[in-house]
Amino acid sequence: MSDYKENYTRWLNDPMVDDATKEEVRALKTDDEIKGAFTGYMSFGTAGLRAEMGAGTAKMNLYTVAHATEGLARLILKTPGGKERGVAICYDSRNNSKEFAHRAAEVLSADGIQVYLFPEMRPTPVLSFAIRDLNCIAGINITASHNPSEYNGYKAYWEDGGQLPPDHAATVAAEIATVDIFRDVPAADKANPALITVTDASLDERYMEKVLEQAVNPDAIPAVADDMAIVYTPLHGTGATLVPQLLKKAGLKKLFTVDEQMIPDGNFPTVKFPNPEFPEAFALGREIANKVGSDLIVATDPDADRVGVMAKDKNGEFQCITGNQMGALLLEYIATAFEKTGKMPAEPYAVKTIVTSELCTRICEAHGVHLYNVLTGFKFIGEVIKNHEISGHGTFLLGFEESYGYLKGTYARDKDAVVASLLICEMAAYYKTRNMTLIDALNEIFEKYGYFRESVISISMSGVDGKEKMAAMMSGLRQNPPTEIGGKKVAIFKDFLEEKAVDLRSGAAYGTGLPKSDVLYYLMEDDNLVVVRPSGTEPKVKVYILANGKDEAAANVNAETCIAGARKLMEA
């Protein structure tokens, strides 16, 4: 009997599986459905777990959440002082998130580990802050970020407030592999309530104090408060708990919320995808903005670690500002403000990922800010911050990634849509005093530094064999590395998995300078860039196009050429 059939049969017959779950298992009618639910276990990595919810070893459910938590508990129990320092647990608005969080608390407390459990949903960055504030050894957040409603996830964090480093993630994965999902995981009735402390409002207040401290110009919003209206939506998620009150604390008077979307709802009934990257998510917000005369709409994703914005252009039409563009806007605004006030700190630095716009490189060069490029994943940005704190050198200005994640300040080690919302509104207020919108400000940046256009191609590889398809595609690209893409000659090729880089013009070889990762990097002779990597949370391969040109038309031509070339490369 194959493994998936053994798992299926066990879940049907094991007395430790509740009747409702067994009924769900029985409802799986086809062999493909059974394979999808019971082929192996979700792989635990630095991003934790993420999958569709449902019965089965490969799905998110109470049993697999408890299983993963027992693996984390065993790591903590091996860490001196770990169980006393404890674990902070947070969750978002998704279906079953609260139940999964409480189940994790039961397992940890049964293992003698102190737990700090949030009483209700909170943004992801609040968990990162809480770990540091409470001196916890670890943290758990139940969230699937901006994924569709059928998904949920499990993010594990370590004592610095960042997601688990690779060695700890590997230890947890190894522990999970030795743990029987039913026999070795403490049952709910073994929980120790004395070890479960529910956090109170004082933690929120301490967090918001730290966020407000990140204002570059605290007087900017109050200065235009009577004239500036802003529309905000949390897309049915956790941002509703803190973002509106934070913006009001910052001095915003005319804040209009999308009331239907202020209601927490894991089904996300008003949007097809709860993702602020998509213009469709702003439909209700645009209606309100047009009624109240707002030129800015701010939307946070369900766990409020990402933020998207629409702003009016010179024609009065709303345009989306991409994650790359917002990173450039914030970087230019922060650096310029510090320079104008004579407050540029010593040894300033910023951090972005290798798939984030190279426009930011030019901005940093112009302002004397050191820019670090790291692998995709905000944990790598957090590591740069941690290393600087340990060395005692450098002042952190901003960390950001193309996928709409930003952080200013060192109070947390994950992207924070709450602080980003504050800074975006402050920046909009500043430009309003110059009779400009954020679209005007973006065009000013392009005129100053050159035109950039970025795009992402996602190649879906769903199904039971999705991982194998992704691996085969990446292997094929490694075995036959292209020397040109879209007619553009590749100047530098980097394979981060092999930790090697080659200058194809001279033949010189050297290291990548970054940790091993399944990423392929192609820099063209004209400085346009294509990066290929499999997603760590979804069954797809992503191709990032980072194009530029002397003007908008040239940037668009280069982008379209690279996109066409990349598609042809992926189909080969």
- Active-site entry in 97, 145, 149, 357: 145
The answer to whether 469 touches 461, Cβ cutoff 8 Å, is: yes
3-state secondary structure 288-307: HHHHHCCCEEEEECCCCCCE
- Please name the amino acid found at residue 355: V
How far is the C-alpha of 234 from the C-alpha of 425, rounded, in Å?
Answer: 15
Instruction: Give, in order, the Cα–Cα distances in Å from 441 to each of 312, 332, 345.
Output: 11, 10, 24
> Of 571, 546, 563, 572, which Cα lies nearest the Cα of 485?
563
Instruction: Give, in order, the Cα–Cα distances in Å from 339 to each of 329, 343, 368, 407, 409.
Output: 15, 6, 10, 20, 18
How far is the C-alpha of 527 from the C-alpha of 399, rounded, in Å?
Answer: 23
Annotation says 421 is catalytic: no
The answer to whether 213 touches 132, Cβ cutoff 8 Å, is: no
**By three-state DSSP, how is residue 465 classified?**
coil
**By three-state DSSP, how is residue 383 classified?**
helix
- Name the DSSP class of 238: G
| Helix or strand holding residue 57 (H, E) | none
Q: What is the largest CA-CA distance in the chain?
A: 72
> Of 252, 254, 257, which Cα lies nearest the Cα of 232?
257
As annotated, the active-site residues are: 145
